Chains A and B, each alone.
Chain A
Amino acid sequence: MADGVKLEAQGIPTATICSTAFAGAARVQAAGRGFAELPIVEIPHPMHTASRSLIEDRASDAASSIARALLKGAAARGALGEEILEDRIELDAEPAALQEFFFAHGWTDGLPVTPPTADSVAAMVAASGRDAHETIGPIPPRMRTATIEKLAVNAVMAGCRPAYFPVVLAALEAVLDDNIRLYGIQTATNTSSPLIIVNGPIVKELGLNARGNVFGQGNRANATIGRALQLIQRNVGGDIPGETDMATHGHAGKFTFCIAENEDESPWEPLHVERGFKATDSTVTVIGGSSPQNVFTYGCETGAEILDHLIGALTGLGHNNIIFPTGPLFALSPEHAQTLARDGYDKQRIKQEMFTRARIPLTRFAARSVIGLHHRRSRWFEIANDPDHIGVADRVGDINIVVAGGAGIHSQFVPTSFSYAPVTRLIRRGGAA
């Protein structure tokens, strides 16, 4: 669809072929890009399990529609009409009625929100140190641009304190970087969501949790910063499950997905320093992440045994780092990191061993999967010099490690997807918090 819009914008007629399950999402997304009339040819869903002869039949059936679309000439530009509300409205202050208003408009993630008032939004804007009318965008999937004030509305709704807002804005600007491929993360069937990793002094200043239950519930800063980014994607970007978000399952990180690195208990330099920032800088790093997989190193005493388990988690079939060239992310617990460090492993050596050893023989895949891997992981086959295996990253440097979490012999393998690389942004702290 995105390619169709690009071609139509150059005056080249197109026909975008979609299976029925995705046609609605394609129309909404095309409208968001200014081509509500993009010609879409629907074919029955699903396609990937259809036999070759069935696909040939469906192609014959669709041929005349495709020809008609292409011969009609380039599509006219045009967006869908959208309801524009007043900037300020008076509402019934009765709490339950107030919440029903937000639910009725579809402005929540399914949980109640904090109603944004003129004062709370102004305080949020002030904490950013930025002009209320400055704009950020376009934000996919409907490619809308928002003012700092509108973004602040969503941060209030998510439950953020004003001091959190600069982190939300840094995370938003990071996910809009082309390397993140936010549009793909939002609209695909895959179970992905942008993961936010916070580093630097701001972690302690805001009371972000970097320790026990780091991916879990119970900390306001983690919960509401991640939630604010999700509400912005929904309420500004128009990222709506079933309409534009075609996730087969989704995951809990689509409510909120924000951790901090446990720099105090890490034996290594933190992620942002590794990525070229100063230890005293406060940053966010984002990447498209699936739900983390727990790696429980039961009975392991040594760094080598722990590493065997981490590599074991990488060599199962079906995870995203086989299909995507993004490179896996590990959130190692402090105990694992310290035991690895004690036994002579630094981050570089761990990454090198993962890169060298986490390779899956192509004999484990069906022939047509191997053809697909040669397409989707073409860079691996060009540079790895290992034609009989698929690795979990094209290059050592595509593997990322942070230290996060509390006591216990568990670490998290976060399969990543869509993003070409993680993106790190400095948190710009302007106003009074």
Chain B
Amino acid sequence: MCSVHDTVEFEKRGVPATVFLTQIFRNSAITQFRNKGMDGHPYIELPHPVSNLTPAQMHELTLEHVGEMVRQLTD
């Protein structure tokens, strides 16, 4: 997953990062964080799929997860 790869690269450079993923990609992300030496790295899980949501639905979903994103980036 490119997003896991990018998150790890940011973290290696000292930049806090996290990844948004949908439920279906959870196991893949957990495995890839482990393989890249960041076992247990946090992520933000959204319901699957998001590809067919309207902008308004996407906006609402994003707002539900902003707090968690800020917490993960500032912890």
Interface residues of A (CB under 8 A from B): 297, 300-302, 335, 338-339, 342, 406-407, 409
Contacts and interface: CB of A to CB of B under 8 A. Distances in A.
Given A407-B22, A407-B25, A335 B49 contact: yes
A301 B52 contact: yes
Interface size class of B (residues with CB under 8 A): under 10
A300 B25 CA distance: 20
B53 to A, nearest CB: 7
Nearest to A305: B52
10 smallest CB-CB distances across A and B, nearest first, come from: A339-B52, A407-B24, A409-B51, A335-B49, A301-B52, A407-B48, A335-B51, A301-B54, A407-B49, A335-B52
Given A407-B22, A407-B24, A407-B25, A301 B53 contact: yes
Interface of B: 22, 24-25, 48-49, 51-54
A140 B28 CA distance: 44
A338 B49 CA distance: 10
A338 B53 CA distance: 12
A275 B39 CA distance: 49
Contacts of B54: 301
A338 B25 CA distance: 19
A411 to B, nearest CB: 12
A301 B52 CA distance: 4
A138 B53 CA distance: 53
Contacts of B48: 407
A100 B25 CA distance: 43
Among A300, A301, A406, residue most surrounded by chain B Cβ atoms (within 10 Å): A301
Contacts of A300: 51
Given A297-B51, A335-B51, 7 more contacts: A335-B52, A338-B52, A339-B51, A342-B52, A406-B24, A407-B24, A407-B48
A346 B48 CA distance: 22
Contacts of A302: 52
Contacts of B22: 407
